Amino acid sequence: MKKLQLLARASLLISVFAASSLASESLLVRMDPSVADVVAKAHGLKIVKRVSDDGLYLVSAPTTSALAGLRTNALVQSAEKNSAVVLPELSSAYSKGGRKLPVTPHGNTQINMAGSPWHGYVNQPSNTLIQIAKAQNKFGTGSGVTVALIDTGVDYTHPVLAPVIDTARAKNFISGGKNASTSQETTPWVDQETTPWVDGSGIVVLNQETTPWVDQETTPWVDGSGKVPPAYGHGTMVAGIIHLVAPSARIMPLKVFDANGQGNMADVIDAINYAVKNGADVINMSFSADTSSNALKAAIDAATKAGVICVASVANDHSGAEVYPSNIQPVIGVGASDNNDVRADFSNYGDDVAVTAPGVGIYSTYPQNRYAAGWGTSFSTPYVTGTVALMRSLEKDSAGSVRSDLQADSDKVWFMNRWVKRLDVYTSASKAN
83 in Cβ contact with 185 (< 8 Å): no
Structure confidence at residue 91 (pLDDT): 61
Structure confidence at residue 227 (pLDDT): 64
The CATH code that applies to domain 18-82 is 3.30.70.80
d(CA 301, CA 305): 6
- Record the pTM: 0.84
Residue 356 CA, chain-centre distance (Å), reads 16
138 in Cβ contact with 129 (< 8 Å): no
d(CA 285, CA 378): 8
Starting at the edge strand that comes first in sequence, how are the strands of the sheet with 56-61 ordered? 46-52, 56-61, 25-31, 76-81
> Partners of 362 in the beta sheet?
374
Which residues, other chains included, contact 7 with Cβ-Cβ below 8 Å and sequence gap of 6+?
A: none
**Hey, CA dihedral for 165, 166, 172, 173, is it positive or negative?**
negative
CA-closest candidate to residue 312, choices 268, 261, 368, 260 = 268
d(CA 430, CA 433): 5
Structure confidence at residue 368 (pLDDT): 84
- List the chain domain ranges: 18-82, 88-432
End-to-end CA distance of the chain: 83
Structure confidence at residue 19 (pLDDT): 41
CB atoms within 10 A of CB 396: 14
Structure confidence at residue 357 (pLDDT): 97
d(CA 310, CA 298): 13
Which residues, other chains included, contact 422 with Cβ-Cβ below 8 Å and sequence gap of 6+?
A: 130, 337, 341, 355, 356, 357, 410, 411, 412, 413
The CATH code that applies to domain 88-432 is 3.40.50.200
User: pLDDT tens track of the chain, all 433 residues?
Assistant: 544 444 444 444 433 334 444 468 999 999 999 999 999 999 999 999 999 998 999 999 998 889 999 999 999 999 999 999 989 887 655 544 444 444 332 322 334 344 578 888 999 999 999 999 999 999 999 999 999 999 998 999 999 999 999 999 999 999 554 433 344 444 433 322 222 333 333 345 543 332 222 223 223 333 445 567 778 899 999 999 999 999 999 999 999 999 888 899 999 999 999 999 999 999 999 999 999 999 999 999 999 999 999 999 999 989 999 999 999 999 999 999 999 999 999 999 999 999 999 999 999 998 888 888 888 999 999 999 999 999 999 988 788 899 999 988 778 999 998 999 999 999 999 998 8
Which residues, other chains included, contact 296 with Cβ-Cβ below 8 Å and sequence gap of 6+?
A: 265, 268, 269, 289, 324, 325, 328
